[in-house]
Amino acid sequence: MSQELTGSVPRKEKFVHRTLTGLNPAIESLLAAAVGLIIGAILMLVWGYNPWKAYVALFQGAYGDSYGWASSAASGVPLILTALTFSICVRAGMFNIGAEGQVYIGAAAAVTVGYFVLPGGLNLIVGLIFAMIGGALWSLGPAILKLTRGVNEVISTIMFNWIARFLTFYLVAFVLVDPVRGEKTISIPVSARFPVLVRGTDLSWSIFAAVAFAIVIYFVLWHTVIGYEVRAAGLNPSAARYGGIKSKRTMLLAFILGGLGAGLAGATIVMGNPPTYAIISGLPQLMNTGFDGMAVAMVGRNHPIGIIFASLFFGGLTAGGRTMQFTAGVPLEMVRVVEGVIVLTMAIPELIRVFRVMRSSWSTLMNVLKRRRSA
């Protein structure tokens, strides 16, 4: 085992992905989605709404035409990245819910590009680099607390989320504020904005940055030695340590990679989302992006490729939910309930799998400690 973990990546290495039903993960997700749709239809029937009309409006608004597809994809772009932030750490055996705060810092870092006068073509690249570095640096706080003091990452990332939120409030109000329009920051320079991909929509070239990052993460986790070590440490920490894997190194790498993704998500929001190209006071376009990414990660089975499709589905719920209100007359509150039920049923199988892996790893660790004490 030591040779496999520390040497070259095995050509046919494969971790067994056990699903709740024993079916293929994609088929299981489709079944879960069907269950969610049925439960949502029952809820709408109970409250006097036509579920057929509502679902037709939902899917027409999300995928019925090029505008719907573009709106769904635009809503899903930052969710790809925040979902990756969560899933990378899950693969390493941790629950990192700090993407929310890292998105704030990444967006604020991207806005600072407006203060620099750079040659044409560099503003966009520098803005992305600033945002990714900002997100990665913000992830180091919980990582250091985890590695040096054993602080649970759930607690530390929640704390850092609040710190980032109020720090960004301060920066928006007093440091990055637009001197002409006090309700927002300075605007992203035109040279630092992602070009619009589909005219008349919010979809920009930022989708290619998000998909490229997901592909890079897939390659790192599934086709490199360090990625194999990250996943092995997450599946069974005790066996990984026995095989020579340095758990602290894999944890630190998972936090940094996740921070890079969340910071990039903040950049895509402010640099590729017309017409504002700025952070609005109150952070309405940034809030909950990190938390929504956790749901997307679960729906996408914590796999980079699955996350891409899950984010498109999740973005479709957002885009089509507006059509449900206008066309089918379903109020916003009921739309959110139905969307929540669908997402929850699709996420449950992966949640159960993750908890099973973590419980198995914890049991193995406890058995090892007991044997050591008895010896």
The Cα 248–Cα 251 span in angstroms is 5
Is pLDDT at 208 greater than 50 in this prediction?
Answer: yes
Percent of residues, the chain, with pLDDT higher than 90: 58
Average pLDDT over residues 10-19: 45
Confidence of residue 16 (pLDDT cuts 50, 70, 90): very low
Asked whether 154 and 95 are in contact (CB, 8 A), the reply is yes
Query: What rounded mean pLDDT belongs to the chain?
Result: 86
Tell me which residue of 246, 250, 248 sits closest to 258, measured CA to CA: 250
More confident residue, 134 or 360: 134
The type of residue at 269 is I
Q: 203: Cβ–Cβ under 8 A, 6 or more apart, which residues?
A: 70, 71, 73, 74, 77, 196, 197
CA distance readout (Å), 314 to 96, 260, 299: 21, 22, 9
The Cα 167–Cα 172 span in angstroms is 9
Asked whether 152 and 123 are in contact (CB, 8 A), the reply is no
Residue 185 DSSP symbol? B
Average pLDDT over residues 321-327: 87
Query: What residues does each domain of the chain span?
Result: 2-8+76-321
Phi/psi of residue 185, nearest 5 degrees: -80, 175
User: pLDDT, tens digit, for every residue of 49-97?
Assistant: 999 999 999 999 999 999 999 999 999 999 999 999 999 999 998 989 9
Asked whether 286 and 20 are in contact (CB, 8 A), the reply is no
Between 43-57, 216-230, 305-319, 348-362, the lowest mean confidence (pLDDT) is in: 348-362
The Cα 49–Cα 331 span in angstroms is 10
The Cα 160–Cα 175 span in angstroms is 20
pLDDT at 93: 87
pLDDT at 375: 61
CA distance readout (Å), 339 to 59, 103, 161, 315, 367: 12, 23, 25, 11, 42
pTM (predicted TM-score) = 0.87
Confidence of residue 367 (pLDDT cuts 50, 70, 90): low
Between 152-156, 169-173, 329-333, 353-357, the lowest mean confidence (pLDDT) is in: 353-357
pLDDT at 372: 62
Confidence of residue 120 (pLDDT cuts 50, 70, 90): low
Q: Burial, 364: exposed, middle or buried (Cβ in 10 Å; 0-12, 13-18, 19+)?
A: middle
Which CATH class for the 2-8+76-321 domain?
mainly alpha
The type of residue at 354 is V
Name residue 242's beta-bridge partners.
none
More confident residue, 337 or 215: 215
The Cα 77–Cα 210 span in angstroms is 6
Name residue 184's beta-bridge partners.
280
Confidence of residue 215 (pLDDT cuts 50, 70, 90): very high
Is pLDDT at 365 greater than 60 in this prediction?
Answer: no
Is pLDDT at 104 greater than 70 in this prediction?
Answer: yes
The Cα 214–Cα 88 span in angstroms is 11
Q: 195: Cβ–Cβ under 8 A, 6 or more apart, which residues?
A: 204, 205
Most confident of 7-21, 119-133, 140-154, 336-350: 140-154
The Cα 296–Cα 183 span in angstroms is 31
